[in-house]
Structure 1
Amino acid sequence: MSRQIIAPAEYREIFLSDRPLVDLRAPVEFAKGAFPASTNLPLMNDSERQKVGTCYKEHGQAAAIELGHSLVKGKIKAARIQAWLDFFSAHPDANLYCFRGGLRSQLTQQWIREAGLEVPYIQGGYKAMRQYLIDTIDNTPQQQQLLILSGITGSGKTEFILSRSESVDLEGTANHRGSSFGKNVTPQPSQINFENSLARELLRHQERQESCLLLEDESFLIGRRAIPKVFFSAMQQAQVLVLEEPLEARLPRLLDEYVHKMQRGFEQHYGAEEGMAVFGAYLRQSVEGIRKRLGHQQTDQLLQLVDSSLQTQLQRNTTEQHLEWISLLLEKYYDPMYQYQLEKKAERIIFRGDRQAIHQWLDERRSNRSE
């Protein structure tokens, strides 16, 4: 196929290489979901797209095309062509796409060509590439053995996941730590963007040719983002490794995660005074989020301890008192919930141990598979 058109056979390389992409769809389309390396430089803005779409429904394609040309002309057309030229000048290897790889791609390519530059567009457009990524997620469990890393709250599962090349970090991809206290300073991606990024990470994992795919034990929802159903179903059937960690190691880790890192993040984002206020609100909202499951009495007790800890922190510049409510949170909520969930996974557990033991188990497994 001509290099003026990028064939579907190249989708994999596009995503693996993070090739720069120009998304010609309207901003409202782009906001719902886009690809990780894409930049929105639309042929039509939201208003223009709506008018053309209405015209297409009422009067057909020819009338819609004519209206589109009348809306995007003169200085508007020149400014958009210049924006494309600037982008492709900075990214010579970039490609462009619209929703289906149809008229918007072809017209944009023609205008750029008339301005003296040859740029390829992607056959099938966003719709076909998006389907490719969905298929990548759904097919992965059939192509790669999944292993699930479970462990009690504060055992350092995410740290462990990040240290292994066999793994894909679901929480990092969803920008949420997967618990009631898992919110980050920056917002989660849209559901579509989460799925697109997950598919890209799975493609990268395939390229590494690992002996398994190691994933952290997650609920169906990571914050407000859902793990794709086929993939999650496979996770629920996969064998489980249990990371064991004593309470004395878990508490300082959670103090750092819930308090130090979050306070620092909010203050960097909002400034010292407002950041501290937002940090306090984050802790209270996180506790309120488990009220139904924890009960009113224990939730109110936790909230009192949180408020007292925040007050002490402001007065004495120390965070040690936060360990009181974190300890109570583990005792009354997280640890009982974990034990209940682990009992349901009992038949799937194939190994348990501390981080060194699990590292050794995985290393030996990899070595045995490569022989």
Structure 2
Amino acid sequence: MGSPSSILSVSPISIERLPLRQSTANYRELFLNDIPLLDVRAQMEFQRGAFPTAENHPLLDNRQRELVGTEYKKIGQQAAISLGWELATQEVIQARLVAWQAFINKHPEGYLYCFRGGLRSRTTQQLLRDAGIDYPLVEGGYKAMRNYLINELENLSKQIPFVVIAGHTGSGKTELIQAASRSLDLEAIARHRGSSFGRTGREQPAQIDFENQASINLLKLAQTSGRVFIEDESRLIGRCALPPSLQNAMKAAPRILVEEPIENRARRIVRDYVSDALPRFGTTEFRAVALGEDLRDSLGKIRKRLGGQRYQQLDTQLSEANQELKRSGCSEAYIPLVMALLREYYDGSYAYLMKKRENEILFSGTHAEVKSWLEEPEAYLHK
């Protein structure tokens, strides 16, 4: 395709630092090696889904993409291309080149991509070449890479020998997952602990981003043999939904049961959701108030399932614990409240789910016993 007759110059990258490289369709190597990716799609496309190593520096902004897309549908490709160049003023092109060169300077080993590896990728490459920079693209673009990860997630979910770490809420399953030598930490990927109170203060990823990261993690795990430990999860981790293939694998996998006394579980929950969570609400005296409001909001999410009267009792108990935290900084007052929630809500729900599963139980014990067992899993797990 054509290009503007003149391009504002930018300082080219030296040949020694940026040798000429070919475009690639080796998606496996891109993800296994965490290769940096320059995403030139519009911001709205990037926000719907991208890859962990990608940075978004679009060729067209959201509005420009909309205008060009409308022109393409009404009149055709050539008209859309012409409109694109009309929108590409010297100031716009210069701004794009500055952003792209900053990325390329930082990541000379990377690749660029658009949605299908077509017009936008080639246009970006041409603009860069006119400025003295050769940078390779990913053939097939976002769509091909996304399809590759979907297929890998499906296939690896069937191939990898999973072991599910199960147990009532507060049993410390996440700690065990993190301590295991080979594990898939879904809650870390989802940035959520999985319950109504599970917000971590970090925004959750888009569903596509969640699936992409899970697939990449499995791809890396599959490079060596051995069992992979995964925490027992419901279909949703916050707003992130487990892919059906992974759900099916978890339902069929053998289990390890963590059996902790209820007070130990309550203390662990208070530590995780109150004491350790407090710093993310700031450093002033008002952080206890902010955390208390967050806890009340989370309790409100299960109000209907608790029932009006029981909810009011627990809400009053929570308010008293919040006041004590604000007054003294002590979180002990939350322990009776958490024990009540475990007995009357969480334990019953989890016990119901466990009855529906007939997986082989490989081992059961306290948190400490399971942790010791996990240190030498091959002594118990026979492939």
Q: How does 1:131-210 map to 2 (within 5 A)?
A: 131-207=147-223, 209-210=224-225
Tell me the CA shift for residue 354 of structure 1. 2.5
CA distance in 1, matches of 2:168, 2:382: 32
Q: 1:368 to 1:252 in 2, by over 3 A?
A: closer
Specify the alignment match of 2:120 in structure 1: 104
Specify the alignment match of 1:352 in structure 2: 364
CA distance in 2, matches of 1:123, 1:310: 55
Tell me the CA shift for residue 310 of structure 1. 0.9
Specify the alignment match of 1:252 in structure 2: 267
Q: 1:170 to 1:89 in 2, by over 3 A?
A: same
Secondary structure of the corresponding residue to residue 38 of structure 2: strand
Query: Which of 321, 330, 336 does residue 342 from structure 2 map onto?
Result: 330
Q: 1:253 to 1:362 in 2, by over 3 A?
A: closer
Tell me the CA shift for residue 131 of structure 1. 0.8
Specify the alignment match of 1:29 in structure 2: 45
Amino acid paired to 2:300: E
CA distance in 1, matches of 2:290, 2:216: 33
Instruction: State the Cα deviation string for residues 69-115 of structure 1 (Å, max 9, x = none).
Output: 11113121122112111210121111100000001111111111121
Higher helix content, 1 or 2? 1
Q: 1:210 to 1:302 in 2, by over 3 A?
A: farther
CA distance in 1, matches of 2:151, 2:281: 37
CA distance in 2, matches of 1:251, 1:286: 17
Query: Which of 216, 221, 230 does residue 236 from structure 2 map onto?
Result: 221
CA distance in 2, matches of 1:116, 1:141: 45
Amino acid paired to 1:288: G
Secondary structure of the corresponding residue to residue 93 of structure 1: coil
Specify the alignment match of 1:3 in structure 2: 21
CA distance in 2, matches of 1:246, 1:65: 67
Q: How does 1:264-303 map to 2 (within 5 A)?
A: 264-267=279-282, 272-273=285-286, 275-303=287-315
Specify the alignment match of 1:309 in structure 2: 321
Specify the alignment match of 1:82 in structure 2: 98
Amino acid paired to 1:263: L
Which stretch shifts more, 55-64 or 358-367? 358-367
Amino acid paired to 2:366: D
Secondary structure of the corresponding residue to residue 129 of structure 1: helix
Instruction: State the Cα deviation string for residues 13-33 of structure 1 (Å, max 9, x = none).
Output: 211222111100011111111
TM-score (norm 2): 0.90
Instruction: State the Cα deviation string for residues 198-230 of structure 1 (Å, max 9, x = none).
Output: 1121122113x1411211000001111100112
Say whether residues 1:319 and 2:331 are aligned partners.
Answer: yes
CA distance in 1, matches of 2:278, 2:205: 22
Q: Provide structure 1 residue ranges, at least 5 long, that are not aligned to the other structure.
A: none
CA distance in 2, matches of 1:11, 1:370: 33
TM-score (norm 1): 0.93
Specify the alignment match of 1:243 in structure 2: 258
CA distance in 1, matches of 2:324, 2:100: 55
Tell me the CA shift for residue 344 of structure 1. 2.1
Amino acid paired to 2:46: F
Amino acid paired to 2:174: T
Q: Report the RMSD for the aligned CA atoms in angstroms.
A: 1.9
Amino acid paired to 2:37: L
Q: Is the 8 A contact 1:149 1:215 kept in 2?
A: yes
CA distance in 1, matches of 2:374, 2:264: 22
Q: Provide structure 2 residue ranges, at least 5 long, that are not aligned to the other structure.
A: 1-19
Say whether residues 1:41 and 2:57 are aligned partners.
Answer: yes
Tell me the CA shift for residue 369 of structure 1. 7.2
Q: How does 1:66-77 map to 2 (within 5 A)?
A: 66-77=82-93
Specify the alignment match of 2:16 in structure 1: none
Specify the alignment match of 2:245 in structure 1: 230
Tell me the CA shift for residue 37 of structure 1. 0.9
CA distance in 1, matches of 2:86, 2:359: 66
Q: Is the 8 A contact 1:211 1:369 kept in 2?
A: no
Q: Is the 8 A contact 1:20 1:94 kept in 2?
A: yes
Amino acid paired to 1:3: R
Aligned residues: 364
